[in-house]
């Protein structure tokens, strides 16, 4: 790393506040990151991430992965921070609401994981792996990820990927063979590697996602899994050999246009499935979040018919789905009113929602019990009618 970009460089000390780094002439609207007609993948990535500021823990900045990332964004100014959990101008700063998307576009954080723990799950995956990142460059209005770090929550990349891989290798070895099939997978232990971010976007920043995919292809009893809303065709070159499951999240495009800010359009996610299966991935679909609104049944029926029309037999033969009805959160609702109030017209429906205190004490809301069960049942009927090849792994 050139000395002028070392995080302890005195030249860096005056870089804050972040306002100083922002070019006021640039538009403040959310850029659509997916390739436009005639645009290649790297151009789409460039619109999603235009990193101008890297905030790094010293140990992360000097690590091999950290150096690789700093070299990838040579234009970015680097500033030292003691902890990726405590960056006052990013976390817990409501003033950032107005610049939510801009911070996600222009700021990257490098950190080192404090703890390594694999947690049991049983729904999306058997296990939740310690993530190689948290935060996201996209900005879905319902996303729970910002609740942990607060507000804009740009991507934090953990540079100690070797420790994460070594931890996972020990955990996989410790499980032995899966004793019996379950809804996660008939034979493999499934590890969710992207609980708090989007691995497809992370792959634009570093080789962490690639390293995880390569590791899992050599572990015959395990399988990596991650949900994504971004089509990163660079992943097609990684030869996962069936040991990574990509879960493309889909919802009716009219909902996604309002809620899935900065993601790849839903038709593009669906169209990519065949290429990912051909490249050696397992491809499942997350039908989530299901947002109840006038016309939701017709919209989901249309989406399921689209899946049926577009997907080739090779995708249908191996596909399965998770169905997850929307859970929202009072604090997030109030934040969203500051930057995206139209989304809240869909997400915040007190007349059909009830409070649900989460395990970590958050004030969440979900659809009322009877209504929610009926909606899950109706969605299962729609799947049976329009995409009968699509196995529902679980729905709630
Ligand atoms: S893509 Fe996933 S992690 Fe990123 S903002 Fe959307 S829901 Fe959150």
pLDDT, tens only, 106-123: 999 999 998 999 999 999
* Centre of ligand 1 from the C-alpha of residue 197, in Å: 6
Residue 163 has pLDDT above 50, yes or no: yes
Average of per-residue pLDDT across 226-236: 97
Residues with CB under 6 A from ligand 1: 136, 138-140, 143, 145, 197-198, 229, 263
- Name the residue of 103, 257, 263 whose CB sits within 8 Å of the most ligand 1 atoms, as the mutation to test its pocket: 263
Average pLDDT, stretch 241-257?
A: 97
pLDDT at 227: 98
- The pLDDT tens digits for 331-384 are 889 888 887 899 999 999 999 999 988 766 778 999 999 999 999 999 999 999
* Residue that wins the pLDDT comparison between 204 and 91: 204
CATH code, domain with 332: 3.80.30.30
Per-residue pLDDT tens over the stretch 136-160: 999 899 998 766 666 678 999 999 9
Provide the pLDDT for residue 332.
86
Closest ligand 1 atom to 229 CA: 1
* Predicted local distance difference test score (pLDDT) of residue 86: 80
Long-range contacts of 333-339 (CB under 8 A, 24+ apart): 335/94, 335/97, 335/146, 335/151, 336/141, 338/94, 338/97, 338/98, 339/97, 339/98, 339/100, 339/101
Question: 53: helix, coil or strand?
Answer: strand
Kindly give the residue spans of alpha helices, DSSP state H, lying in 260-394.
266-278, 296-310, 313-318, 330-337, 341-347, 369-386
Minimum-distance ligand 1 atom for the alpha carbon of 139: 5
Q: What is the tally of structural domains in the chain?
A: 1
Domain range enclosing 365: 3-395
Q: Which of 229, 250, 259, 343 to mutate to test the pocket of ligand 1 (most atoms within 8 A of CB)?
A: 229
Cα(382)–Cα(388) distance, rounded to whole angstroms? 9
For ligand 1, atom 3: residue with the closest CA: 197
Average pLDDT over residues 30-36: 43
pLDDT for the residue numbered 358: 74
In the chain, pLDDT over 90 holds for what percent of residues?
A: 73
- pTM (predicted TM-score): 0.89
Which of 133, 134, 140 has the most ligand 1 atoms within 8 A of CB, as the residue to mutate? 140
């Amino acid at each position: 790393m050139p000395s002028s970009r070392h995080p302890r460089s005195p030249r860096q000390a005056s870089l804050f506040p972040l306002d100083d780094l922002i070019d006021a002439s640039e538009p403040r609207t959310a850029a659509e990151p997916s390739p436009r007609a005639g645009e290649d993948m790297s151009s789409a990535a460039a619109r999603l991430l235009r990193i101008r500021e890297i905030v790094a823990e010293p140990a992360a900045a000097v690590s091999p992965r950290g150096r690789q990332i700093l070299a990838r964004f040579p234009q970015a100014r680097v500033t030292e921070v003691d902890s990726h959990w405590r960056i006052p101008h990013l976390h817990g700063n409501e003033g950032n609401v107005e610049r939510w998307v801009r911070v996600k576009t222009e700021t990257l954080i490098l950190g080192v994981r404090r703890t390594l723990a694999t947690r049991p799950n049983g729904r999306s995956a058997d296990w939740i792996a310690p993530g190689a990142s948290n935060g996201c460059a996209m900005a879905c209005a319902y996303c729970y990820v910002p609740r942990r770090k607060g507000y804009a929550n740009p991507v934090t990349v953990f540079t100690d990927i070797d420790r994460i891989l070594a931890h996972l290798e020990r955990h996989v070895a410790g499980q032995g063979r899966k004793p019996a099939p379950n809804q996660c997978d008939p034979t493999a232990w499934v590890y969710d590697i992207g609980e708090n971010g989007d691995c497809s976007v992370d792959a634009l920043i570093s080789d962490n996602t690639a390293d995880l995919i390569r590791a899992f292809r050599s572990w015959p009893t395990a399988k990596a899994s991650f949900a994504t809303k971004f089509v990163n065709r660079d992943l097609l070159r990684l030869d996962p050999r069936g040991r990574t499951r990509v879960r493309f999240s889909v919802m009716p495009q009219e909902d996604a246009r309002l809620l899935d800010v900065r993601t790849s359009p839903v038709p593009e996610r669906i169209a990519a499935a065949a290429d990912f299966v051909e490249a050696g991935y397992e491809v499942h679909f997350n039908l989530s979040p299901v947002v109840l609104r006038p016309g939701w049944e017709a919209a989901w029926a249309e989406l399921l018919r689209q899946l049926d029309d577009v997907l080739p037999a090779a995708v249908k033969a191996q596909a399965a789905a998770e169905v997850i009805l929307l859970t929202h959160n009072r604090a997030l609702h109030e934040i969203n009113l500051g930057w995206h109030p139209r989304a809240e017209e869909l997400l915040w429906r007190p007349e059909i929602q009830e409070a649900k205190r989460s395990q970590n004490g958050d004030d969440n809301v979900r659809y009322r019990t009877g209504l929610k069960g009926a909606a899950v049942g109706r969605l299962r009927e729609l799947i049976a009618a329009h995409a009968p090849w699509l196995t529902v792994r679980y729905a709630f």
